[in-house]
Amino acid sequence: MRNRLWLGNGGAVVSRKEVETVAVGGAPRADLLPPSVREAIKRRPLVRRLVALVLLVALVTAAGVAGATYLALNAQQALADEQRRSEDLLAQQLQFADARAINNALDNAVIAREAATSAEVDWEALLDEIRASLPPGLVLVSVDGATRVAPAEDEPLRQDSIGSFRINANSPTVPDVESWLIDLEGVTGYAGIAPPITVSGSEGASYSVTIEVLLDTSAYLGRFSTAPETDTSEEGEE
């Protein structure tokens, strides 16, 4: 400690003692903290990062749940709208139930009429064609026609036919059966001749001829057929 003299405002000498500061101790040379405390201090940044990561995961999860909930609500709303629309359409259809029933009845009637007339053959027109095919001198005695629903599987020569007509004719002379068979090929629905062809008689007496002509599906009249017609004009152009 040292004494110094200094002059005040009045010029008097004043004595003052200046205190010197003495540093006691200094930087610690020994670490007395337990190892667990030092380890905890080192882990603080890692813990903070882990906490931040957990919070981020929680936020992302919450956002995902919110998004899924939003989509589910939208889907439920869309489903409810479609259900209401379906109910409205059903209510509108019920208003026209009678008209639909009548329309269905008409459709069924058309289908039944087509099925009932599907095997219809114009025998009168066929008879006119048969008469026109007769050679000179041959007189028509009878014609018996019939159609079959199913093909005759036990008769190979009749498998492709849907029916036939049997012609009985008489002639005072030997009939020209060969030319007659050629003319019969022009009859509507002609599918062939079913053997045998019977010719009986003798000179001085009349001759009797019996021929059975097979028919295919083109012999059907098809008055009420709803099958679409093919347009051959475009095919010809191609």
pTM greater than the 0.75 cutoff:
no
Q: Could you state, in chain order, the average pLDDT of each consecutive group of 10 residues for the chain (238 residues)?
A: 48 50 56 69 79 89 90 90 88 80 83 72 86 88 76 60 87 88 89 87 84 86 63 46
The pLDDT score that the predictor gives to residue 210 is 92
Whether omega before 228 lies within 30 degrees of 0, making that bond cis, reads no
Q: Distance (Å, rounded) from C-alpha 113 to C-alpha 111?
A: 5
* CA–CA dist 65, 59 (Å, integer): 10
What pLDDT does residue 235 have? 45
Angle (nearest 5°) at CA 57 between 55 and 61 = 115
Give CA–CA dist 140/169, Å, rounded. 4
Could you give the strand order of the β-sheet that contains 207-215, starting from the edge strand earlier in sequence? 139-147, 163-171, 207-215, 190-200
Strand partners, 212: 166, 194
Half-sphere exposure of 96 (CA within 13 A, CB side): 8
Q: How many CB atoms lie within 10 A of CB 197?
A: 13
pLDDT of residue 232: 46
**Whole-angstrom distance, CA of residue 168 vs CA of residue 141:** 5
* Residue 44 confidence (pLDDT): 78
26 phi and psi, to 5 degrees? 145, -160
Cβ atoms within 10 Å of 235's Cβ, excluding its own: 8
Instruction: Tell me the C-alpha distance between 34 and 205, whole Å.
Output: 148
Give the model's pLDDT for residue 124: 86
| Torsion angle in degrees (nearest 10) through CA of 114, 115, 119, 123 | -50
In the chain, the domains with their CATH numbers are: 123-219 (3.30.70)
